[in-house]
Structure 1
Amino acid sequence: MTADIERLVRAESPSADLDAVAASAAVVAAMGTAHLGAAPEVIVLDGRTHLRWRLGDGPRRVLVLGHHDTVWPLGSLATHPCAVRDGVLRGPGCFDMKTGLVMAFHALAALGAVDGVSVLVTGDEELGSPSSRELIEAEAAGCVAALVLEASADGGALKTERKGVSRYEVRVRGRAAHAGLEPERGVNATVEAAHQILAVAALADPAAGTTVTPTLLGAGTTTNTVPAQGQFAVDVRIRDAAEQARVDDALRALRPAVEGAVVEVTGGPNRPPLSASSSAALFERAQELAGRLGLRPLTAAAVGGASDGNFTAGVGTPTLDGLGAVGGGAHADDEHVLLAELPARTALLAALVDDLLGGSAR
């Protein structure tokens, strides 16, 4: 497994580089073919390369889901080499989430007969899955479960709840004028943006776990001109669909505060929430199986970050996330995987797939 992880990590795959993602997909495809005994379907959507294995046509279907793209630019291996020391594997993308792919291949290979399993490996998750969302949702529909091989939360906790995500851009238009000679003739887009930023930030509800965060901001052209335009981005994280709808309605209802200004809002919900109810039964089954295997008790975590598990939960498929690597440092200089955790985690995944298939792989 360690050798396989190193092989995938060395196939650099920044999401925005279509050629690099295609080359990485070829490496993943070859590895999966060797372990699963079947070649994947290669699916290219908007230039982005995804892989799908459909193993048999059993009456019960289980989706095993992951991605092979990373946030790391080409050349990152030069500064963050893939290496193992004292039981810790490091390298760009090892934790998020190339180790999870290796675990999936080894778990399914250990079971042998896996009639009814679909394995979907996408190539644009780190961008928000713009080309693969419909593919994920279609593959998840009708499955008894979706098992997401994203990395675990702190201490190896499974991710039983993820916030939904909405993203917006608020654009403001005013009217330019000379800031020294006749500022009164202008309509100041910067002032309008300031009003809107405060109104947007006020939509947050900490008690409900709703965050509404104005982020990237820009306005104006020169220091002596009343700004005629401006814009800012908004990141929204919510725990339930009702909150997502409330914030969406409020953002679309924004009105100008400065006379003569115009406000436009684009964007919207990007990922539905993965609620605790979507994962509860699967987490309970995983706990029971961990006990049978003699593993330490499982823990659960609710996290703010989203994954493709949000999409599978959004179509009504029971979803359990964070089944992948134990380690830390996703997207950061200290990204790492604890190799000693791999055997137990992989055994748990195999047992869970077998259980969900009704024991057909035994």
Structure 2
Amino acid sequence: MEIGLPQAAAGQATQMLGRLHEYVAHETPTGDSDALNAFADRLVARYGELGATARRVPSATGDHVVANLPGRGPRADDEPVLFLGHHDTVWPVGQLAGPMSWREQDGIVHGPGVFDMKGGLVVLETALELVAELGLDHRPVRIVVVADEEVGSPTARELVIAESAGVVASLGLEPPHPNGDLKTARRGSSRVRIEITGREAHAALDPGTGISAIDELLDQLITVRSLVATYDEVLCNVGTISGGGRTNVVPGIASAELGFRFVDPETERAVLDAVAGLEPVRDGAQVRVSVLSNRPAWQPSGSGGDLLAKIVTAGRSVGQQVGGRPAAGAADTNVTGSLGVPSLDGFGPRGKGAHATHEQIIAAALPERAALVAAVITTI
């Protein structure tokens, strides 16, 4: 009897857990170029084992990885399907020695990066392995794994744009919705830094000659909050504030970093333009606004619906019911989706706790997702 994808994937469950454990044990905080580059070498070697041509793409804060796997059979010359992932995590080195140590309990796997998103990397590798082992025909596969996704992919954006040219679809390996549904659209996400330059002075002897950068920053943040309040679906989070040094010195510098989320590109442009045009409240103060990273709003489209229908069919072929709906969080599929490339995200394993100390996945979701991704590779 010929073995099918679900059975073959189930036979890989233990191996998948072992590889995920290795990947989680190799901690890869965003910006730690040595750790990220060493992990990139792992990926390049692994994709090479799977028959792909892989390379590191240099970046000062950590190298990205691009791999191309040839197609097989009658579809070998078709347009490639693109998979997007990342190997950086939000966790600093040392989490494995604390409360986030790797552990498996009652079918749940805990550890930094298991959910976001080293589980997704293992899913794709296993899917490619299954396709090869079963000798299934498929179109070419292109893979881009970036090193700075968790801070908005500032160095990887142009790479993602370039590698999405000519692909039939872009599929993200990020976590799915809690019930396993795929993500059919995402809010736009921008990180903005507001920097204030004032003038230092003695806070008691000569306060009048000073210009408080902190006071100016507070007034600018109130202005931003008032601006955001005029829109129904804009989110704004002031993530960091810094400035000053001593209570007896009028502060001469201050800054804040803000995170914005947008549903549609029109609102995104209007808000970002307004923030970029902030004017000083105080005579002599200087306001500088810079966009640290930007992922444009990705809205549902007809091509996305057609793609989801194909994925639903692929899911049925391996006994899975697949659904899809928009998501609030942003990822690199924002870029491809906003360019009009048919895109879906959320092909990683089910779980919860992204960016939280209780980060976890359901162990059984690893082979389940691998079977789905293998079916997608061989059918779309």
Pairwise CA RMSD of aligned residues? 2.2
Residue aligning to 2:319: 294
Distance 1:268 1:52 in 2: 24
TM-score (norm 1): 0.89
Instruction: Name the CA shift for 1:151/1:241 in 2 (closer, same or farther; >3 Å).
Output: same
Distance 1:335 1:206 in 2: 35
Shift in alpha-carbon separation, 1:22–1:228, aligned structure 2, 3 A: closer
Q: Which residue of 1 aligns with 2:306?
A: 281
Per the alignment, residue 270 of structure 2 pairs with 246
Alpha-carbon distance in structure 2 between the residues aligned to 1:9 and 1:288? 33
Residues 212 and 83 of structure 1, relative CA distance in 2, 3 Å threshold: closer
User: CA offsets per residue over residues 250-308 of structure 1, 9 Å max, x none?
Assistant: 012211222332222222651112222273332232223333433235243422x2211
Taking a change above 3 Å as real, the CA distance of residues 101 and 170 of structure 1, as seen in their structure-2 partners, is same
Instruction: Pick the aligned partner of 1:164 from 185, 188, 195.
Output: 188
Cα separation, 2, equivalents of 1:200 and 1:221: 25
Off by >6 Å, runs of 4+ in structure 1: none
By how many angstroms is 1:138 displaced?
0.6
Q: Which residue of 2 aligns with 1:314?
A: 338
Residue 364 of structure 2: SS of its match in structure 1?
helix
Does residue 91 of structure 2 align to residue 75 of structure 1? no
1: distance between equivalents of 2:55 and 2:270? 40
1:342 and 2:366 are equivalent in the alignment: yes
2:224 counterpart residue number: 200
Q: Which residue of 1 aligns with 2:6?
A: none
Where do 1:126-165 residues align within 5 Å?
126-165=150-189
Change (3 A) 1:289 1:32: same
Closer, same or farther in 2 for the Cα pair 1:145/1:192, shift >3 Å? same
Kindly provide the amino acid, as one letter, of the partner of residue 64 in structure 2. H
The 1:47–1:183 alpha-carbon spacing in structure 2 relative to 1, beyond 3 Å, is: closer
Aligned 8 A contact 2:181 2:322 in 1: no
The change in CA–CA distance for 1:281 and 1:89 in structure 2 (over 3 A counts) is same
CA distance in 2, matches of 1:219, 1:44: 34
**Counterpart for residue 20 of structure 2:** 5
Deviates more, 1:274-283 or 1:9-18: 274-283
Amino acid at match of 1:20: A
Q: What CA distance in whole angstroms lies between the structure 2 residues aligned with 1:327 and 1:173? A: 45
Q: Who is 2:29 aligned against?
A: 14
CA contact 1:201–1:214 (8 Å) conserved in 2: no
What is aligned with 1:37? Answer: 51
Q: TM-score, normalised by structure 2?
A: 0.85
**Identity within the alignment, %:** 38
1:50 paired to 2:67: no
Count of aligned pairs:
354
Is the Cα contact below 8 Å between 2:32 and 2:61 reproduced in 1? no
What is the DSSP-based 3-state SS (H/G/I as helix, E as strand, rest coil) of the residue aligned with 2:121?
helix
SS in structure 1 at match of 2:258:
strand
Q: Is the 8 A contact 2:312 2:321 kept in 1?
A: no
The aligned residue for residue 360 of structure 1 is none
Alpha-carbon spacing, 1:47–1:253, altered in 2? closer, same or farther (3 Å): closer
- Structure 2 segments unaligned to the other structure (5+ residues): 1-15, 71-75
**1:217 partner SS:** strand
Matches within 5 A, 1:19-30: 19-30=34-45
